[in-house]
Structure 1
């Protein structure tokens, strides 16, 4: 006997699918959906896929949209993009920007160019002036273009370092920064009001982004480097290997390096050019295990002194350094972040520049940056996770987040920028090489001065996102008294106003130290981009000997990792 509820569910799905098919301008996703509709009554897998595709619309938030490509409101496709562009256009008109320009960029993922052109047509149909890049561009170039062209907004079609089957849609306003609340909800309301994309006005009137935008972006980097403390012959003496991770960073980074008088980086050819299938990596994220294997092999063959990697849209930067006997070690994001902080200060001192401003980092990044800033008589600001917050720090001169995001040129780019950060890394390498030193020496100096800061992460994938409030609620109501051998000395609930930050879902557990560990910290928060709950662990050594401190910190992090895991489980 047929299940009435199952039959009703199937009938509702079929009705939604037919409405969708009547609006979808894309032959590929229409065919895909028609196939699911045909198979769903007799194929559980097809029914599950159809159910998921229509379970709810992709949620537009401060990170814009990001999701799997395919048909349905819970996927990235032309219908969703047209709705989103129309909602954004209405928001811009409602906030006084009728007739103004919006710049649009896109990466090399599947359909990124199509989504960009659809967005341009919708904006033009609404009376705005779309400025569309004629080729793929890194995300930081799009952020730069907003300020350079004085547009009222910017759109970047990218899913950053997500899997190949995903795409996404980032929105910036006229300040060149990603949106924050309440703009995200106001735009989302406008998007929800678009129920029939066939009624959305469109126009073919579109303008290309002037070529001088890329020239001026590169010039902003070369001007910074040429005004710094290194000589051209020093900069050209550093051998680097670079991987674009099948993304869009190579052409821009190469041009920037040449303009800065760096030796042209040796590219990992198999990963140099955009490829939406990311064929040589399991996951196109430089942080993932194995992602840099080809680059490390190239670095050994080329006797390189540094390996640099961008993620596919080139807003993040990974750095690896040789450790002898053909071995390489990838630096943690906090290590790169603090090396860059040291170099921002050092290059100013060497150039006779008095640095005035603020260092900023996200709450889950290392506590070391605050110590470095205080020691340099600079202010420090801690923000929520994400560059949409870091970039808004008043007077920012340098900011970073541990997830490989760095902003060394905030005057020009109001977002993380993996290309400008790479130029600063190479400049630092050149200066150190001229003195017979390496970044390892600087990291050791920082450890001896401030105590070795070591970080790690523990994360658990959550199959049912409804479990997240339960897990976080249990942590708040029954927090641990100890983690590892360390007593919990203070608990900060980031949802409360007295945390000093805008309310967000997260808990900080400050831990008392002992004879080896000066202090420690565990932060628990749901991921903002993935179905995960994460623990960010950090310990600060009380030991002066760096080798001893490394052993002690590693043992402490292992203890904390083991005891933190149960906090993330139901």
Structure 2
């Protein structure tokens, strides 16, 4: 049980550690938690991704929950995590457990718990589950286990939120062999788009790479967009809760530009606050300010975005790593819905044209990040040492303010910034920088690395 530790988004580990026995322990702890919250005997969804081992682990979870008296609903096949989230919220389930390692390599698997509202579990919930890890109950199953189609209701809801006619739009969709295949592409096609499919066959090995929709892994999508003279390319990660976009001129968009694209499009017909993490671009603030809207800043982690969206009735929320959601939807990042939203924006105005107009009005913004190896047990010490040695200038510019929402975000007099924070998933410190040119970003990152490395 000591090997089980819930991080930013559940427990993930390599398959030598992530075993059936330990998954059953997590399922029992979750059953105990749900009982303690008054949900005994209710229905729990159990989702799973496209990995070779995921259905087997899902069956383990379902068995333990049913033995504890819960009814269990499984999807008919591996499906996106946001589909499970929507089902939980829409059908008043007690919660869900999802077997997924998201964008991690195929040698990993993981499990995450979703409470009754379908949003990410907050730390007090995962801590309560982790504190009660124990061997599972033995005996007969008193709950019912059944399979159902959960995709159709989610698709209908997405179409009700983004009521777009995509006739005449050509979209290349890259499922990266993950759970978005047959879901995101089908949604776009149902809305009228001409969809060209890449990596839409199930491959538990994800073609030998991680199902991470970053620039390095999406070069094939970028080439396909140009080859087919497509209007847009979209991709999902392994469990399709994240999205990435590719345009004809810019290639793979970073998550900050995707946020700006989506929020700008929504502001054309609606109004409301934006929620962003501390690592996400100030371009969001410029867009919001131009429309008289508020921006709410949160620590990194979609659970904090989700919480703030509920508190502020936000129009849009997300983080630069590719997770977003919108008003009216379950407060969970949803790469399927976001692929539809990006396509709707492209159908009204070319994405490159829209981004050009945003840059012309609000200025160019560039961002990048680097990682510095740091053992988990040194992260708190590095932050403490950094706090004691925060500089007065960075890369030749005076410090205007320091924000400690998550790590230390050093705001400079010229409007640029540097952020140092611990990774919630890896033994690393993250260093982010934002400025008006790539060269300035590189200088800031070099300065940030120089601050952190001597402290590790």
- What residue number does 2:441 align with? 557
Q: Are the aligned partners of 2:66 and 2:144 in contact in 1 as well (CA < 8 Å)?
A: yes
- What residue number does 1:8 align with? none
- 1:244 and 2:175 are equivalent in the alignment: yes
Corresponding residue to 1:176 among 114, 118, 122: 118
The 2-side partners of 1:493 and 1:424 are apart by 33
- 1:372 and 2:372 are equivalent in the alignment: no
The 1-side partners of 2:140 and 2:354 are apart by 56
- What residue number does 1:450 align with? 362
What does 1:350-429 correspond to in 2, within 5 Å?
355-392=270-307, 393=309, 394=311, 395-408=313-326, 410-429=327-346
- 1:510 and 2:411 are equivalent in the alignment: yes
Task: Spell out structure 1 runs of 4+ moving beyond 3 A.
Answer: 199-202, 204-207
The 2-side partners of 1:204 and 1:152 are apart by 17
Q: Are the aligned partners of 1:362 and 1:383 in contact in 2 as well (CA < 8 Å)?
A: yes
Q: Measured at CA, do residues 273 and 492 of structure 1 come closer, stay the same or move farther in structure 2, by a change above 3 Å?
A: same
The 2-side partners of 1:86 and 1:510 are apart by 46
- What residue number does 1:208 align with? 146
> Whose helix fraction is larger, Structure 1's or Structure 2's?
1
Corresponding residue to 1:284 among 195, 208, 211: 211
- 1:262 and 2:262 are equivalent in the alignment: no
Corresponding residue to 1:473 among 384, 389, 397: 384
Q: Report the CA distance between 1:387 and its aligned residue.
A: 1.6
Corresponding residue to 1:483 among 385, 394, 417: 394
What does 1:159-238 correspond to in 2, within 5 Å?
159-191=101-133, 194=134, 196-197=135-136, 199-201=137-139, 203=141, 205-211=143-149, 213-226=150-163, 232=165, 235-238=166-169
Q: Report the CA distance between 1:79 and its aligned residue.
A: 0.9
The 1-side partners of 2:201 and 2:82 are apart by 18
The 1-side partners of 2:208 and 2:224 are apart by 14
Q: Are the aligned partners of 2:418 and 2:445 in contact in 1 as well (CA < 8 Å)?
A: no
1:387-431 per-position Cα deviation (integer Å, ceiling 9, x unaligned): 2111222212211110011113x4232211111111111111111
1:359-390 per-position Cα deviation (integer Å, ceiling 9, x unaligned): 21111111121222232233321112122111
Q: Measured at CA, do residues 202 and 406 of structure 1 come closer, stay the same or move farther in structure 2, by a change above 3 Å?
A: farther
1:220-254 per-position Cα deviation (integer Å, ceiling 9, x unaligned): 1222333x5xxx4xx22121211111101021112
Q: Are the aligned partners of 1:62 and 1:180 in contact in 2 as well (CA < 8 Å)?
A: no
Q: Are the aligned partners of 2:222 and 2:247 in contact in 1 as well (CA < 8 Å)?
A: no
1:144-166 per-position Cα deviation (integer Å, ceiling 9, x unaligned): 11012110111111000001100
The 2-side partners of 1:202 and 1:489 are apart by 64
Q: Report the CA distance between 1:69 and its aligned residue.
A: 0.6
Corresponding residue to 2:351 among 439, 457, 460: 439
Q: Measured at CA, do residues 254 and 444 of structure 1 come closer, stay the same or move farther in structure 2, by a change above 3 Å?
A: closer
- 1:344 and 2:255 are equivalent in the alignment: no
Q: Are the aligned partners of 2:225 and 2:247 in contact in 1 as well (CA < 8 Å)?
A: no
Q: Secondary structure at the match of 1:182?
A: helix
TM-score, with length taken from structure 2: 0.94
Q: Are the aligned partners of 1:218 and 1:259 in contact in 2 as well (CA < 8 Å)?
A: no
Q: Secondary structure at the match of 1:466?
A: helix
Q: Measured at CA, do residues 68 and 288 of structure 1 come closer, stay the same or move farther in structure 2, by a change above 3 Å?
A: farther
Q: Are the aligned partners of 1:153 and 1:172 in contact in 2 as well (CA < 8 Å)?
A: yes
Q: Secondary structure at the match of 1:396?
A: coil
Q: Are the aligned partners of 1:121 and 1:206 in contact in 2 as well (CA < 8 Å)?
A: no
Q: Are the aligned partners of 1:525 and 1:534 in contact in 2 as well (CA < 8 Å)?
A: yes
- What residue number does 1:531 align with? 427
Q: Secondary structure at the match of 1:460?
A: strand
Q: Report the CA distance between 1:203 and its aligned residue.
A: 2.3
The 2-side partners of 1:62 and 1:469 are apart by 16
Q: Are the aligned partners of 1:62 and 1:184 in contact in 2 as well (CA < 8 Å)?
A: no
Q: Measured at CA, do residues 296 and 62 of structure 1 come closer, stay the same or move farther in structure 2, by a change above 3 Å?
A: closer
Specify the structure having the higher radius of gyration (Cα).
1
- 1:99 and 2:41 are equivalent in the alignment: yes
Q: Measured at CA, do residues 141 and 152 of structure 1 come closer, stay the same or move farther in structure 2, by a change above 3 Å?
A: same
- What residue number does 1:155 align with? 97
Q: Which has the higher contact order (CA 8 A, sep 6+)?
A: 2
Q: Are the aligned partners of 1:360 and 1:383 in contact in 2 as well (CA < 8 Å)?
A: yes
The 2-side partners of 1:473 and 1:202 are apart by 52
- What residue number does 1:25 align with? none
- What residue number does 1:43 align with? none
Q: Are the aligned partners of 2:173 and 2:185 in contact in 1 as well (CA < 8 Å)?
A: no
The 1-side partners of 2:338 and 2:244 are apart by 10
Q: Are the aligned partners of 2:69 and 2:142 in contact in 1 as well (CA < 8 Å)?
A: no
Number of matched residues? Answer: 451
Unaligned runs of 5+ in 2: none
The 1-side partners of 2:343 and 2:51 are apart by 29
